[in-house]
Amino acid sequence: MSNSPDRNEKIKKLRELIQDIDIGMLTTIDQDGSLHSRPMSTNSEVELDGDLWFFTDASSHKVTEIEQHQRVNVSFSDPHKQRYVSISGQAQLVRDRNKIKDLWKPELKAWFPKGLDEPDIALLKVNVEKAEYWDGSSSFVAHTI
């Protein structure tokens, strides 16, 4: 994907839409081909290039699903502002300790009681390939990427 000015503006719009929506529904593909969704927190972290990061336990079932099928979808909604976003992309497990430290927030101790010393702590990175959004203020559907 190129970093054209148009793409950069679309990524900026995407970040604006989901920046204040902490929880997204991450959908993966299970071994039998069925879809499996669960709530995941971005911790308000959306990269400048649009990539999404989620903390996870590296031995979780979602990681097994992603190792088999990297294609995922993450959907966000803010009914009060009538904003809805659907993001498709490729997911991968990341064990980079520096990145984990960079993204760590104390609130994550609720899921990772040992904090950064949690032995199986890892990140899921979703490389955004396509995004659509519905912005109720304009009744508009747009393909972001």
Q: Give the C-alpha separation, 31 to 44, whole Å.
A: 30
Q: Which of 41, 14, 13 is nearest to 26 (CA)?
A: 41
Strands 71-78 and 23-29: antiparallel
State pTM to two decimals: 0.87
Q: Which two tokens stand for residue 37?
A: 């969704």
Architecture of domain 5-143: Roll (2.30)
Q: Where are the domains of the chain?
A: 5-143
Q: Which of 29, 25, 27 is nearest to 41 (CA)?
A: 25
Name the β-bridge partners of 39.
25
Full pLDDT tens readout for the chain, 145 residues: 445 667 778 888 888 888 889 899 999 999 999 999 999 998 776 776 778 999 999 999 999 999 999 999 999 999 988 889 999 999 999 999 999 999 999 999 999 999 999 999 999 999 989 988 887 766 566 656 6
